[in-house]
Amino acid sequence: MKTTTNYGFKKPESNDPYNIEDFNESFELIDTVLKAASDKADTSTTHPSDMNNPHQTTAEQVGLGNVPNVATNDQTPTYVVATENAALSSGEKLSVAFGKIAKAVSSLISHLADTVGHITAAERTSWNAKADASGTVANADTVDNKHASDFLLSSIERVSNANADDFTNGTVYAITGCTNVPTTYLVVSTNVVSGDGYQLGYGVSTGNIYTRAKSNNVWNNWENLLDSVNAGTLEGKHASDFLQKVPTTITCTDASTLDAQLKTHVDALSDQSITTIRLVMSVNHPKLDGGVFLGFVQKSTITYWSIVFFSYGVATSGGGRAVIYSYYDGDIHVRKLGDGGNADTLDGLHASSFIQTSQSAKVIVSATAPSDTTAVWIVPS
């Protein structure tokens, strides 16, 4: 018996006996095939609308393995900020483009925060009101909040036959023939506020600089800061306050007047001063004898001072002597520290206070002091 090509249905020939089983088997096969075709037809209509990846296709299978599976607005690109501002280029990588954008944004933020590089509306209005180079706009009222009266003018006002005590604060005058000034021709600057201040003057003809102060509405005397280009003071101290390279020379021709000469000289010195003197003794003195001495003077007050003398010239009784002159208790006290290398005293005692080797002595052991001054008294224990 023959069968069909595709599904194998039996095809009885004319000479084949009829068999009902062959007929039923063919219809069962037809039913199975039709059912399968029907199921396939149903699937073809639902598959295109199935969005749940019915074939389980992976990103790698379609070349998207390096693409993050996130929404477009949740991308997290990585980049390196560019070192300098540059324009974007078509076709460049996003990482490069984002680096340029980041640099531009950073530069913009810094620029906007620069308060020096930008002016405010108030500053713009103020600048627009200033005079231009041609001077067609009205002159400014102030410069840095200061009026013209706060500056020295290029030409100085001349004043004559006036009282310098009456010059007001901030004035500068070229004066002649005025009162209360140190010299006739003077340029004076006055700075006085509430009764206190100073005046500074330049002597046109003398070349000196003068100044004086005002305190509680009272002017002090003028002081010449430059005396023929020789400073009057150094850090507030006069020459008399320093040790002099060439000390003042005092010559004594009468030993009885030395004390008075020294006191007169020291009394003229300032308190708390130190200076030097050169003493020339043309006559002998009980302590200094004759010769030349260098004295170092230290004065506390007029009632307390001292002078240490060192001999450095030819003396009648040898050199190497030192003598201290002290003034206290209203009198001069003299102490001789050396006599040609031979001390004047030992622990304040003179040689006469000791037993001499040329003298005889008695040794007396007694509980009471002997009356004999030549005795050596030993007290028994």
- Per residue in 16-47, pLDDT (tens digit) is 777 788 778 888 888 888 887 777 766 666 66
Alpha helices, DSSP H, located in the chain: 20-46, 94-113, 121-128, 258-267
Q: Could you say which residues of the chain have pLDDT below 70?
A: 41-48, 130-140, 148-155, 227-233, 239-241, 243-246, 313-320, 337-348, 350-381
Say if strands 223-224 and 209-215 run parallel, antiparallel, or are unpaired: antiparallel
**What sign results for the dihedral spanned by CA atoms 232, 193, 207, 164?**
negative
Q: How far apart are CA 49 and CA 352, in angstroms?
A: 144
- Per residue in 56-91, pLDDT (tens digit) is 888 888 888 777 777 777 778 889 999 999 999 999
Predicted local confidence at residue 198, as pLDDT:
93
DSSP character for 43? H
* Domains of the chain, residue spans: 2-41, 76-112, 151-231, 240-336
pTM of the model: 0.32
